[in-house]
Structure 1
């Protein structure tokens, strides 16, 4: 019985691209978020060096890493936390990040779940409970589903504002 590759294995095996579409206004409200809401700021590169290493190594070997976030405005406290940490975490690692206000996404065909898309051939859906805790992942290689993810990501990316220019409302 073959086991499915882990997220990290999928990321490390990407040859050309790794794209992530996030569509929730909050995720699991973990200790890092709780610390941030209490006013304790921290360096995300020190907190999550494994991410910096994973993305940096991928970018160094020619993989384009992009993340698009669809967000409601005014933004939630969690999205404010994400926005504040993006430069020192995602961008520092080598990701290109863009933000799309949800009202600008109404005419887009979007999958029902957040996903990672690797090399335009494999989608890894992230499943969450109502409170934002991750409940599992689903690896999909069906060409029709992968194409939906690819076209959705491309449409969001085209409309979205680069992180450096996005001013949260």
Structure 2
């Protein structure tokens, strides 16, 4: 027989959120950095801005820089479509602090993880730098620190972003160097 005082087990993903937030997420500097990353990644606008700078500064590779923008925006758009189909609500547990506002109440997949992974893969290929290893983990962790995504949201978003980048690279390979 259960009563109102029974202790319910905490779902595993909520336990991960609690652990992250009570660890590094307890540092105000980490929260501030995560918020900055959140604002940069909102609607893929920071990635589009970097692609625009690359497009202006690197004329011989303008098509590839445009591909970075297309990849980030396309990945973001794909994540929005999936969010509206899946309709998973964002974390809502009394022990999870939400440390940033969000444009929607839907969580799966993380659009920030999606567009960041796509942009990082495409810019990494373009620059020869290990950008996915440098940019993706902090963005994924920031979404958990901020309490707005479950771990599976950011992992699925990252996988979707990688697939989006692969699609852009395949299209560039197939159509990129055609004579005019």
The TM-score bracket by the shorter chain reads under 0.3
Taking structure 1 as the reference length, the TM-score comes to 0.27
Larger radius of gyration: 2
Structure that is richer in strand per residue: 1
Structure that is richer in helix per residue: 2
Taking structure 2 as the reference length, the TM-score comes to 0.26
